[in-house]
Copies of this chain bind each other. A is one copy, B any other.
Amino acid sequence: MRIVMKNNVSESEWNNTLLFVQKLDARIISEKSKKTVTILPKANGEDLPEAEIAGLPGVERIIKTETPYQLVSREYKNEDTIITLGDINIGGDEPVIIAGPCAVENESQIIETARLVASHGIRLMRGGAFKPRTSPYSFSGLGEEGLRLLAKARAETGVLIVTEVLDAMDVPLVSEYADVLQVGSRNMQNYKLLREVGNSDKPVLLKRGMSANLTEFLMGAEYIMAEGNKQIILCERGIRTFVEYSRNTLDLNVVPAVKQVSHLPIIVDPSHGTGRRDLIEPMSMAALAAGADGLIIEVHPQPLESWSDPDQALYPEQFARLMRKINLYIEWQKEHADFAPAH
């Protein structure tokens, strides 16, 4: 429940309202500059004393959020959230492309890739130092050494770093090096990790779980936002269905569905979403046309020598073609801004 105070609310009205709600045994977020006080749902499911609150002096109106997610909902906040990293805006008018290898393998590989993506005007590079692997015997990333190499690639090329954090314990370490903390599909309901990145000051890229419905996906984001971190980028990366021709089923329907109910930006990962190099170009274009705020794409200098997921990374020349196509499309989109989806 969000309490909107009158524009001319007095100091004592504001304070009285706060005093009143603080007695409710619920979490409170007050934003004086916006003249709003938010009361989060109570753990025991009890109703809040709505009528009484509405009657407090200085209260203009009450906004009730009907969905289980509160802070991430469009009912709560109508304007699109834009995540700002230096002069990069995610969720603004122009889609943002994140690209890079599945995993950091060694210095020359990651520096070469950073140069490659930077040469296409890309400002954000992905690359895993901690890799969640189905098998305990598979390469699981270079760990901190990988983070150091990512930082080196940033220093040399200026690209900012998006990298995964696998466990709540690792958040401080990864935060030292990363510009954006990625929470992977397998961890979309790792609540300790969500709370921990919710207390970080870094933007968080939250990937949808393989069988997460929309409410569960947004509830993952709600966990982060309830801790105070408002910089969340959602990411569709394929769901699990019966389909056999793609490793996962990239579900673009979620893009406009999210836009209807949430103010958060959402990007799309066609690489993990399809697991097929030849589907990445068409599904990237489709994602942008569906209204995605960006893409996260795997590219590798020598895909077949990639230590993980060799079938889904683009070759540099494929990536170059895709980037030219994307740039042309973005230009076209700007020319026809009147056709942008209205929320």
Contacts and interface: CB of A to CB of B under 8 A. Distances in A.
A313 to B, nearest CB: 17
Interface in A204-235: 210-211, 213-216, 219, 222-223, 226
A51 interface: no
B289 A285 contact: yes
Contacts of A8: none
Given A42-B137, A213-B242, A283-B290, A336 B328 contact: yes
B41 A341 contact: no
Contacts of A288: 289
Nearest to A213: B244
Contacts of A192: 166-167, 169
A84 interface: no
Interface in A313-335: 321, 324-325, 328-329, 332
Contacts of A285: 289-290
A132 B241 CA distance: 25
Interface size class of A (residues with CB under 8 A): 35 or more
B289 A341 contact: no
Contacts of A290: 282-283, 285-286
A120 interface: no
A245 B257 contact: yes
B215 A134 contact: yes
Closest A-B pairs by Cβ, 3 of them: A211-B211, A289-B289, A286-B290
A301 interface: no
A85 interface: no
A53 interface: no
Contacts of A45: 138
Interface string A246-277: 10011111111100100000000000001010
9 contacts: A43-B137, A70-B137, A168-B169, A213-B243, A214-B243, A240-B240, A243-B251, A246-B253, A328-B336
A278 interface: yes
A31 B336 CA distance: 49
Most buried by B among A42, A241, A250, A341: A241
